[in-house]
Structure 1
Amino acid sequence: MKCREQLQQEIKQAESQLKLLEKSERSKMRERNRLNVEILKVLQKKNEVEKELKEKQELLRDLSSLVVVFK
């Protein structure tokens, strides 16, 4: 009987540990998803800024060529 009780206790401990690990896993997954959203926002902003920079560089090039024509 003692062996059976010990096994039942070990099973309860293992189940408890499993629940804690599953809770931790869910928490980490939520954190990872939140970080992925932040990364996506940063990448979108980076793309916008790169596009704006390219447009301004092209505008500057166009203005530079106009200055040469007027001189």
Structure 2
Amino acid sequence: MPFGDHQLRVDLICGRDEHGRPHGALRVCVPGELLRPLGLHPEQPTSRIVGPSPPAWWHAAGERYARLRR
């Protein structure tokens, strides 16, 4: 990884949903100036969808392939 441990902050958010099932989320914070050497910068516009979504079969094939690779 191009960042040192002292340059990142990782937050773990845990809890239970309304049905009592455990859930969690991770948030990774990286200072914007550290992204510049990777070709990214804080002033860069947010990405947006510019075309139609692939068909449902394409997503299903990707899921099947991912399970085979485990």
TM-score using structure 2 length:
0.23
Larger radius of gyration, structure 1 or 2? 1
TM-score using structure 1 length:
0.23
**Between structures 1 and 2, the one with greater helix share:** 1
